[in-house]
Structure 1
């Protein structure tokens, strides 16, 4: 089918602006009509209400994102060569940044919208790749994308991890499992900032680990010298172990609601020779913070790295209230001069919203807050200036006075 014959999404009047500016998601509310008879996965052109070409993408009538856009060049086809080139370009960036270092074998190789591949991520753990699809239409191109990954990285195996609720969101019925080659070892061991971590990429959260916090874990450790540290939502122990091993913390309490995660964190502490300075507790974060507050316990450094709290726009206000409660409780556990490292991976919660939340925490606690560092995700999770949602991770290192 030629470009002239492609089905078209015709946008409503005055709704084309974001897409001319290269935002990659076309929601149903922006669409006036669909011309032709496209089915899920078809290539489709997006045009303004007067018929001017805007972009070319993939269609999904089931998803709230009716079309994901991939090119703004009318002469460019979304053929196999297009997808291969996008994969190669994404991998070239990581090899340029990390080639010859341990991070080359423990990083995000493809990051969805930021790499022009809206609807997929690929993480590398040693000789294995973990793939996630969040787009039905892009998942239909799995064969050509996997072949491109194999040609560039020659992995021993490629494993599929599925996003919770993807069937309802995209009409994509898939299950975790082996896509190619050998299954990954359990656990799989990799190096980060000179430390050794073992994770279960088959059962763990997301693809098993959170590479996006790599630089932030090291930055937080710089404030941990001889400190008493509380690592909330510790998962596999990344922040707490870095605080002990890299920062020289004298003691670290790691808290998580998952016993399986705590077992992995404890094993990682032993692997890095810091288990004697670390304790691990299975508890609800809010409840534990309240217990510590009632006991009058103080810490020199507190790390808050909760899971995503807002999965849609309707959940943003609730998420901000949750962040406020966590940070308000944490501030009371810090003496004057204590350090708060507070994070949010909810892309729908903007930096301004998060900073306003911190401002309210300071006002209500009658404590002064100084933001020492305002950090984002690691560069293997690049940010697209055309898609605000790709700048999702916020990590603030604050001094409480």
Structure 2
């Protein structure tokens, strides 16, 4: 097997089970490993550290998989890892929830692999060359474990370009998903689009936060921004909100939202669906003097990397400032960031600046986090990307 020798003093993170080796940490490459092939990683004293996947094109040149030299990376290793990840999620699959993330990349020792279960179908994303090599082994194991109606691949991520991989969308197994697939989350029914929807089709990571936020909306007027297919809106309906305004820039999102409202029989609730740019719409609401009791902000990723953090912080601040201006004393803002580069302390500071600019005094009364099917591996803190705050205006 090809070997990777690290520079002196560059092995500490690897010894501590961090799964990434950056190209600058590599002293020598013994052999000619192909992109996606398995390699052994050693320190300068030739002590074995771990097995990993090599890719010369990627800044993350080696993605570490296994630290026990007695457990080589063969077909059974991949099957065992897939099986273990799925087993850990089994308790989450109930008659009230059948949309679950089954495999969460590095958190499950399967870097570059995402698998989501949506009812009878699985959606797969692959963004590392090593997983690409064993893709059909993983598919076969998923079929044996879950017997899905179909497995659809949505590997159309920017990360694949850094791995030298082209985008791939298509059926991997079984039946092609229908235009809309039925799922249930928190006892609420959804029809989602796996083939053309955002990401892999649905955002399972907000499951708990949708339910938690809904505990504060009974008999209140709610504004749900970046509503997508209606997760926060529908939970608010179920919890007894007086009215909801849902906003998204996507026509498909608004269409899907309205379908999901009808699907659950919530059409008697006072509801307005608006296709608009959220920032512009918030400004318009402010000019009209509109007020709400609860506002939800669940924007897309503003900071894809640390280099974009300053610009993203300004965007988050302006967005939250506009929302705070629409809340009276006692009003609540449930605000989120899915940018991994934005840690919770920085996010709190951004909210403090937004409140200052809006002339509001605020309190942080709850933290929101990732659900348990999106675990954070202790040796890989970068896996913690979703955070949120429930803010009360004084």
TM range (shorter): over 0.9
Counterpart position of 2:54: 59
The structural deviation recorded for 1:56 is: 1.1
For normalisation by structure 2, the TM-score amounts to: 0.96
CA contact (8 A) 1:58 1:69 kept: yes
Counterparts of 2:95 and 2:64, CA distance in 1: 34
Deviation at 1:127, TM superposition (A): 1.3
Contact kept? 2:52, 2:64, Cα under 8 Å:
yes
What do the CA deviations read for 1:131-172 (whole angstroms, capped 9, x no partner)?
000111111101111111111101111100023324422111
In 2, the alpha carbon distance for the partners of 1:336 and 1:15 equals: 53
Could you tell me how far 1:99 is from its partner in structure 2?
A: 4.4
Contact 2:294 2:327 in 1 (8 A): yes
Say whether the 8 Å CA contact 1:212–1:377 is kept in structure 2: yes
SS in 2 for 1:148: helix
| Matched residue, 2:250 | 258
* Aligned: 1:101 with 2:95: yes
Match of 2:387 among 377, 389, 394: 394
**Equivalent position of 1:38 in the other structure:** 33
Contact 1:234 1:254 in 2 (8 A): yes
Which residue of 206, 212, 225 maps to 1:219? 212
Alignment partner of 1:225: what SS? coil
- Detail structure 1 runs of 4+ shifted over 6 Å in the superposition: none
Q: Following superposition of structure 1 onto structure 2, how do residues 1-400 of structure 1 map, counting pairs within 5 Å?
A: 6-95=1-90, 97-103=91-97, 105-245=98-238, 247-275=239-267, 276-400=269-393
Greater CA drift, 352-361 or 282-291? 352-361
Q: 1:237, 1:151 → 2: CA distance? A: 33
Please state how far the C-alpha of 1:332 moved relative to its aligned partner. 0.7
Q: How far is 1:328 from its partner? A: 1.1
- State whether residues 111 and 381 of structure 1, in contact with CA within 8 Å, keep that contact through their aligned partners in structure 2: yes
The secondary structure found in structure 1 opposite 2:145 is helix
Deviation readout 1:201-247 (Å, 9 max, x if unpaired): 110001110011001000000110111111110000110111122x2
Comparing 180-189 with 355-364, greater Cα deviation is found at: 355-364
Question: How many positions carry a matched residue from both structures?
Answer: 393
CA distance 1:270–1:154, shift in 2 (3 Å): same
**Cα distance in structure 1, aligned partners of 2:152 and 2:356:** 47
CA distance in 1, matches of 2:228, 2:122: 21
User: Contact 2:156 / 2:169 at 8 angstroms: preserved in 1?
Assistant: no
Greater mean alpha carbon deviation, residues 172-181 or residues 364-373? 364-373
Contact 1:244 1:277 in 2 (8 A): no
Distance 1:348 1:25 in 2: 17
Whether contact under 8 Å (2:297, 2:336) holds in the other structure is: yes
Q: Is the 8 A contact 1:166 1:173 kept in 2?
A: no
Q: Which runs of 5+ in 2 are unaligned?
A: none
The answer as to whether partners of 1:106 and 1:126 remain within 8 angstroms in 2 is yes
What is the TM-score with the length of structure 1 in the denominator?
0.95
CA distance in 1 between counterparts of 2:43 and 2:344 reads 32
Change (3 A) 1:61 1:92: same
Tell me by how many angstroms 1:100 deviates: 4.1
C-alpha separation between the residues in 1 aligned to 2:217 and 2:81? 41
Query: Which has the higher mean CA deviation after the structures are superposed, 350-359 or 225-234?
Result: 350-359
SS of match in other structure, 2:139: helix
What's the Cα RMSD here?
1.4
